Amino acid sequence: MIAAPWNIILTIAFVFTGLVCLIDLAPRLTRTRRKGKPFDGEILVDINHILMSAAMIWMSWSMESELALWVQVGVFAVLTLALVPFPVRARTATGRVDLVGHLTLNAAMIWMLAAMPLLMADMHMPMDVGDGDAMGMDGQMPMGDAAPMMMGTPMWVDVVNVVFVALSAATMLWWLFRLIRSGHHRLHATCHAVMAAGMGVMLVLMNG
């Protein structure tokens, strides 16, 4: 669980992103059914971000189920593979960068879910290792089931996490650029900028 008030702030942010994508998805699905066409990249992006928003809200309040984490890793891995061909098919360079940005956030999401136990390892370490509850009667650190909880986050995990935070920040800046330059679809650009910002903030908080 993310500590207050960040859990509330992130919940508001991801409710916003989920609703924007849901509102955008409904008419796209109607048009697709009417024309008998397969799902396009924009529909997959909306579905992807709706599920991502829901997962982020869940992680803001509860992270107790390891099974749920790995199910989500599988879901986002499948969505990522489904989105991979679309940047190549994009008609414009801007469209390709947009889709690469979505793939980047998916990679960050998969990293967050898979590495969560390591990212949050420092949060489970005892605040005072000199406390009698944290140490044995002879002053030795306890072994057995409690031993893994004494380990901090490995350095390589910190480094990889910083990379994904930087990529999330770069994606946010790209969507802010799109928001400023675009005369339309500004709500959608705002949605994706908020999603990227929320991803970066969540990664920082988990690694805090």
Residue 191 lies in a domain: yes
CA distance 66 to 79: 20
Structure tokens at 58: 């869940």
Residue 32 lies in a domain: yes
- Give Cβ neighbours of residue 196 (< 8 Å, ≥ 6 apart): 101, 105, 168, 169, 171, 172, 175
Residue 137 lies in a domain: no
Q: Give the pLDDT confidence of 51-93 residue by residue, as tens digits.
A: 999 999 998 887 667 788 889 999 999 999 999 988 888 888 8
Q: Is the pLDDT of residue 105 over 70?
A: yes
Band of the pLDDT at 36, cuts 50, 70, 90? low
Q: Give the pLDDT confidence of 7-19 residue by residue, as tens digits.
A: 999 999 999 999 9
Residue 138 lies in a domain: no
Which domain covers residue 111, as residue numbers?
Answer: 6-125+143-206
Residue 18 lies in a domain: yes
Residue 174 lies in a domain: yes
Cα 71 to Cα 75, 113, 151: the distances in Å are 6, 10, 26
State residue 89's pLDDT score.
82
Q: Is the pLDDT of residue 50 over 90?
A: yes
Q: Is the pLDDT of residue 2 over 70?
A: yes
Burial classification of residue 76, based on how many CB atoms lie within 10 Å of its CB (0-12 exposed, 13-18 middle, 19 or more buried): buried
State residue 6's pLDDT score.
92
- Give Cβ neighbours of residue 106 (< 8 Å, ≥ 6 apart): 48, 52, 76, 79, 80, 83
Total-model pTM: 0.81
Burial classification of residue 155, based on how many CB atoms lie within 10 Å of its CB (0-12 exposed, 13-18 middle, 19 or more buried): exposed
| Structural domains counted in the chain | 1
Q: How many beta carbons lie within 10 A of that of residue 66, not counting itself?
A: 10
Of 9-13, 92-96, 140-144, minimum mean pLDDT range:
140-144
**Mean pLDDT on 88-110:** 91
Residue 136 lies in a domain: no
Residue 78 lies in a domain: yes
Structure tokens at 23: 């509102």
State residue 128's pLDDT score.
45
Q: How many beta carbons lie within 10 A of that of residue 164, not counting itself?
A: 22
**Mean pLDDT on 127-153:** 48
Q: Is the pLDDT of residue 203 over 90?
A: yes
